[in-house]
A and B are shown apart, each in its own frame.
Chain A
Amino acid sequence: MAACGIDTCVRGMARPAVLAMLLCRVITTTAMAADPDPAAAPPPAAVPQVAVTPTASAARPLHEVIDALVTAAAVGPCAPRCSDADFVRRIHLDLTGVIPTTARVRAFLADPAGDKRTKLVDDLLADPGFARHVMFVLDAMLLERASPSGDLAAAWREYLFSSLVDDKPLDGMFRDLLVSDGSDPAMRPAAAFLLTRDAEPVQLTRAIGRLYFGRDLQCAQCHDHPIDDDIRQAEHQGLYAFVARTSLFRGKDNALLASEKADGEVDYQSVFTKEGEKGVWPRLPGGMTLVDEPRPEPDAAYVTEPTKTSHGVPAFSRRAALAARLADDHGFRLNLANRIWAIFFGRGLVHPLDGIGPDNAATHPGLLLRLAEALREQGFRLRPLVREIVLSETYQRSVEPPGHDEVSAVEIGARVTSLEGERIARTAALETLEQAAAAAETRRQEAVAATRAVHVDRLARLTERDAASKAAAAATAAAATTSADLTRARTVSDALAGAAAQATRAVELTAGDAALQSLAATLAERASAKGRQAEAVAQAHAEKQAAADTAMGALTAARGAAEDATARLGADDLARVEREAVAARRAATVAAQEVRRLDARIQLARDLLAHADFVGTDPAAAAVAWQSIVDRWTDAGQVAALRALSPEQLALSVQQATGALAARQANAAAAIDKAPPEALAKASADERDDIRAMQVEMRMVKDASGLLRSAATLFGDTLSDGFQASVSQALYFGNAPDIQGQLAPSGSNLVATLAAMSEAAAVADEAYVAVLSRPPADDERADVAAFLDARPHDRTQAIAELVWALVSSNEFRFNH
C-alpha cells in the first residue's frame, strides 16, 4: 500500500521528509557546454568556443553555467535581479502554482539572511504545493486538456501527484505512459495517455512525436514536408511503426484497455512521389533504428492472445521497446529539458515546444544541450534540475527592461565587430561539421541498406523456422499418437500371450480336457494375431518417431539458421554507426544553430545602434524598434518575461488572495481528520505530518475540481500556448457569482479582514500584500485612502471594489 494513502500510487512512496533531503543536492557540472556526450563525435576542435563554453572549472553549479552561457550571449545590458517582492511571488507561482500568503510574504521580506532565496526555493520544492503544481502542468502537457474517461479521471491526477511526491524519475514516468495497457490495477492510471487518445496509432504517433521528442511530424504522415526538409515521411513512419500494432480494447463493463498484436508491418508510399518502403523498421525520430526485434515462434508470440474477450499482450511489445529506448535518446532528453525550461520562462529555449529541428534554432543551443545532459546525470529527477534553473540569475531577473541610457553605443559597436569575427570562424568550422555529418549519414544509410539485405534473409529464415516449428509440432504430435496406440496394442497382446500360456499349462494339468484344449488353441491363435498387430503398430510408431526426430532436427537447424541470420544483422555494428551519425548530425546542427544565433545577435546589435539614431529624429519609429529590442532581450533571457498565469494558477491565486483558499484548505483538512484514510491512520508518528499534508492537498484539489475545470475552459486551451484575453474572461471576473461571492465579507476572508480595519493605510497595506504580494507604494496608499475616504457610508462595498480592482489588474494576471 502506498504510503501516501492514494490507492493508485504506483509503488511505496518515498517519505516526504527524505525527499527534502534528496533534493537539496546541488547539480554540479564540469561546464563542458558544447557536447559532453562521450558517444558523440570528436569535439570540433576548430570551433572557437567563445560564447558557449565558459572556462572549465571543476564542479561548477549548473545555475552558474546557465548564467555564464546566457550572459556570454547577451547583446546589450541585462536587467538586474528582481526585487524580493517580485521573487517571493514569482517563485511561489512557479513552484507551487499559487501566490504566497500574506504571512509568507511578510516573513520573506523581513528576513535579512543573504541566502534566503535559496532557502525559500528548497522549502517550496519540498512543499506539497510543488507536486500539486507540476501535476497540473504535466496533466495539461500530456493530455492536452482532454479528460480521461471513467475510472481514470481521478486516478490519473492522483498518479501524477504521487509520482511527483515520490520524485519518480521523469524517464520512468514517460516509460510507464507507453507501457501500461491498463490491465494491471497498480499501473492503470498511467494508461490514460494511450486510452485518452483511443489508443489510436496515428494520434499516438503525433502525441509521442510532439510530447516525447518535440517534433510535430503530422505533416509527414502522407508525404515529406513540402518545405521543411527535416520533416520526413520516413521519420513519421518509423515512429508510427512502434505503435501501429496498438489498438483500443473494450473489456467487461466497458473498461478500456490498450491491446497490442504480435505482428503487423508498416508499409507506406508517398502520395506525391509514390516512393515508399515495406516493412518499416521502428525508429526513433532522427535516432536509433530497431532492426533486430525478437520474433518468437508462433506458439510463443503471445502472453495473452487478442480475442473478442481479451486484449492482446504480445511476448515482444514494440511499445515497450520504444519505452525502453527513451532514456538513451538524445532527442527525448532535449525535449524534456526544453519543456522544463519553458515552465519557468514561458517559452522553450526552442520555441514552439514541438518545433525542435535543425531549422528552428534554440536561443542558446549549447545551454539546451547542457540541460539535457544534466537531466541524465541526475537520473531524470525533476527537482534538482528545477532547483538549478530557479537559482540562476537568468531566472531571477527583473521584468523591467534596461533603459536606452544603459546601452553603450561604443560597446555595442565593438560587439558587432567581435560577433562578425566569431561568425566567420564558426561558419568555416560549420562546413567541416556538415561534411562530417553528411558522411556519417551516408555511412549510416549504407549500413542500413546492408542490414536490410540480411534482414530479408532473416525474414526468410524466420519463415522457414516457423514452418519447421509447425512441422515439428505436427510430427511430434503424430508420434505421440502412435506411441499411445502402441502401448494399447502391447497391453492387449501381452494379456493374451499370458492367458494363452496359462491355458496351455491348464491343458497339461487337466490331461487333455478337450474343451480346454480348444480354448487354449483359440487363445494362442489370438495372442499370436495381436502380437503381430502390435509389431505392426510398433513399426508404424518407429516411423513416426523417426519423422518427429527428423522434424525436431530440422527445427533445431532452422532455429540455428534464424539465430545466425539475426546475428548477421550486425545490430550492434549498425547501432555504433547510427550513434556516430546521430552525434555528428547533432554537432553540425548545434554549430549551424549557433551561426544563426550569431546572425540574430548581430542584427540585434545593429538595431540597438540604429535605435539610438531614431530616438532624436523619429520617436514613433524608435518606440516600435525599442519594443522589438525588448522582446528579443526577453527571449534571450536578458529580461524576465511577463507570463500570464495558467488557468489553475489564476483560479487558485484569486482564491488565495480573497481568503477562499484558506477556507478550502481548512475544509479539506477537517475532512481528512474526520475520516483519516487507512495509510494516515497507520502512519508512524514521524511521517504522519507529511502524509497528512499530502492528503489534505489532494483532497483540496479534488474538492476544487469543478472550479479548476471551468477555469481551464475559460482561460486555457490545448495547442496554443500564447496568451489570449477574451471578453468572456472579463465578464467572468466582472459578474460571475463565484468571484462576487469571494468579495462578500465572510468569516476571516480578505474583505472581512479589511472591513474591520479603521486606518486606510492598514487597509492598503493588507490588501496589496494579500493580492499583489507586496506592500503598496506611497502614492498607492494615498489612492486607497482617497478612495475609502469618499465612501464613509458604504466602506465595505468600497473595499470589495478595491479588492476586485487589484485581482483584475494586469499586475495580478501576469507572473512578473
Chain B
Amino acid sequence: MARTTDPACRSLEHVISRRSLLHGLGAFGGAAGVAGIAGHGLGLCGGLAASPAIAEAVRAGGKRVLVIFLHGGVSQLESWDPKPGTDTGGPFRAIPTSVPGVHVSELLPHTARQMHRLSIIRSLDTRNGDHARGQREMTSGRDQPAPLDYPHLGAVVARTSAPAGFSLPGHILVRGGGGGAGTSAYLGPRYAGVVMEDGQPPAHTARPDALSAEADRRRSLLRSRMNDRFAGRRRTADTDAYTQSYDQALDLLEQRHVFDVSRESQRDQDRYGPHEFGRHCLLARRLLEHGVPFVQVNHSNYDTHHENFDFHIEQLGEFDRPFATLIDDLTVRGLLDDTLVCVMSEFGRTPRINDRYGRDHWGTAWSVVLGGAGLQRGAVIGRTNANGTAVEDRPVDHGHLFHTILRGVGVDSHGTFHVAGRDHPIADPAKGPIDELLA
C-alpha cells in the first residue's frame, strides 16, 4: 500500500485507526454496545472493534441519515394523514397505529406498527407543485424556483458526518426509477452523490479483468515513489489530498462487498421481499451498518393523476413491508439511535379527486415522516383541517425540515461552511428547526 512517511498525517496511530475503522465498521453495532450483529457475518474486525480507540472513532464519525424519497409525490391522504368519510378522503379507512390515537391509512398496516419509532409532520406547506423544484427544495432545504444550486442534504451530511479517513462514499443514492444526482454544489465533487443505479455497485468499483490486485498494488507503489520525489519539490494540502484519494480507492475496493446486497442472508432477503424496493431497503441497511453517513433510496412512481387509489394500493403495497422491516431492523440493531430516517416526496397530492379518479400536485398541506437519532418518537406535528385542504396548526416547509434533520444528527444547522474563501450558511438562515421534534 502506498504511503508516504509524513509524521503529521501518516502516523501509525492514524493509519491504524483509519484502516481498522474501515474494516471495523461492520462492528459498528458492537461498538455502540448493541449485541445481535455478530450473527450476520459482519464482524470482519472483531478484535479491533473491542479497542476503545475504535469506539471513539466511530462515535466521532457522527450519525447517519436515510432518506426514502417517494418519487412523483405520495398522497398524504392515502398515507400519513387519512381523512376517511370526508369529501376528499377517498375509499380507504384509517387504522390505528402503535401510537394510541394516531391513525394512518389502511394501506400501511406494517408501518402502522412502527409508528411509535417515528413521527409525522402533517403541516407541510411548501407552496410548490413542480416536480423538479420540489426535488430540489425538499432535498436542499432552500427556496430554489430555478436551479441556483445549493447542496443536497446528502452532500451536507457527508461533509459534516463522515468520519475522518472514511473511504466508502459518504453520500449514496440508490436509484430505482426517479432521477436526482445529489448535487454537492459549492461543497465540491468529493461530496457529490454516488449513484447505485438499480442497486448496482457505483461506477468503477471493480478492477478491470486485465488488472490483478497484485498489478494494482505494484503500480500504486510506483506512483507512490514518484509522489514522494515530487514532494521534495513542493508539497501542499492538495497534493496530500490527492495522494490520499488513491489510498482510499484501494481501501474501497477491498470493501466492495459492502455494495453487494446478495451477501445478506437468504432469510433477510426473503423478509425484505424480492422486488426492487425491498432489495434496496436491505441494501440501505447494509450501507448504514457499514457506516455510510447518508443513503437515499428512491421509490417510484407516485405521480397519480389517474387512478390514484389503485396506484397507491400498488405502490404503498410495495413500500409498506420492506420499510417497516427496515425500521424494525434498525431498531433491533441499535442503529436507529444514530440514524435519522425521513420519508419524503417532492410534494403531496390534492385533496380534490379529479374526474379520472386521480389526485394532482399539491404543496399546500401535506406530510412527511421522520424519526430516529435525536428526534422525538411517536409525535405528530401540526394538523390539517377536516378534509385536508389547509394547514390549521404549525405550518412548516422544506427549510424547517432541513434544519430539523441536521439538528437531529447533531449538526449545528445555523453554522456555516467555509469553502474556498467564502462562507455558506449550512441551512436557510431565515428558518430554524422544529424544536418540539428535537429530543
Contacts and interface: CB of A to CB of B under 8 A. Distances in A.
Contacts of A729: 189, 245
Interface stretch (A155-163, A690-698, A731-739, A756-764): A731-739
A714 interface: yes
Contacts of B210: 740
B208 interface: yes
Contacts of B266: none
A732 B245 CA distance: 11
Give the bracket for the number of chain B residues in contact with chain A.
Answer: 35 or more
Contact of A351 (B146, B185, B246, B421): B421
Contacts of B218: 801
B234 A400 contact: yes
Contacts of B167: 727
A352 B420 contact: yes
Contact of B146 (A203, A723, A732, A806): A203
A727 B252 contact: yes
A103 interface: no
Interface in B174-224: 184-190, 192, 194, 202-208, 210-211, 215-216, 218-220, 222-223
B439 interface: no
A715 B190 CA distance: 9
A241 B152 CA distance: 31
A718 B189 contact: no
A307 interface: no
A642 interface: yes
A754 B405 CA distance: 56
Given A203-B148, A355-B421, A717-B185, A728 B246 contact: no
A809 B188 CA distance: 21
B244 interface: yes
Contacts of B420: 352, 719-722
Interface stretch (B41-49, B225-233, B302-310): B225-233
Interface in A696-748: 713-737, 740
A421 B359 CA distance: 76
Interface string B137-173: 0000000011111000000000000000001010000
B186 A720 contact: yes
B204 A734 contact: yes
Contact of B205 (A197, A735, A810): A735
A786 B384 CA distance: 76
B12 interface: no
Contacts of A806: 223, 226
Given A352-B422, A714-B189, A805-B226, A810 B243 contact: yes
A725 B233 contact: no
Interface in A790-816: 797, 801-802, 804-806, 808-811, 813-814, 816
B225 to A, nearest CB: 7
Nearest to B145: A200
A130 B270 CA distance: 60
Interface in B285-304: none
Nearest to A723: B238
A801 B224 CA distance: 13
A810 to B, nearest CB: 5
A401 interface: yes
B248 interface: yes
Given A780-B229, A801-B219, A802-B222, A717 B186 contact: yes
B239 A736 contact: no
A737 B189 contact: no
Nearest to A203: B146
A725 B422 contact: no
A399 interface: yes
B246 to A, nearest CB: 5
B188 A730 contact: no
A783 B231 CA distance: 17
B5 interface: no
B319 to A, nearest CB: 30
A740 B249 CA distance: 16
B239 A642 contact: yes
A787 interface: yes
A718 B249 contact: no
Residue of A401, A623, A719, A725 with most partner-chain B CB within 10 A: A725
B22 to A, nearest CB: 12
Nearest to A218: B148
Contacts of A623: 8
Contacts of A715: 189
A717 B184 contact: yes
A354 B420 CA distance: 11
Nearest to B210: A740
A434 B190 CA distance: 44
Contacts of B253: 731, 734
A718 B149 contact: yes
A146 interface: yes
19 contacts: A203-B148, A352-B421, A642-B238, A644-B242, A720-B188, A725-B190, A726-B189, A727-B252, A728-B194, A734-B207, A801-B215, A801-B218, A801-B222, A805-B226, A809-B226, A810-B231, A810-B243, A811-B230, A814-B239
Given A355-B422, A728-B169, A787-B222, 4 more contacts: A717-B184, A725-B241, A740-B211, A810-B231
User: Which 8 A-B pairs give the minimum distances between C-beta atoms?
Assistant: A730-B249, A722-B420, A725-B245, A801-B219, A805-B222, A731-B204, A805-B223, A719-B186
Interface of B: 8, 145-149, 167, 169, 184-190, 192, 194, 202-208, 210-211, 215-216, 218-220, 222-223, 225-227, 229-231, 233-234, 236, 238-239, 241-246, 248-249, 252-253, 419-422
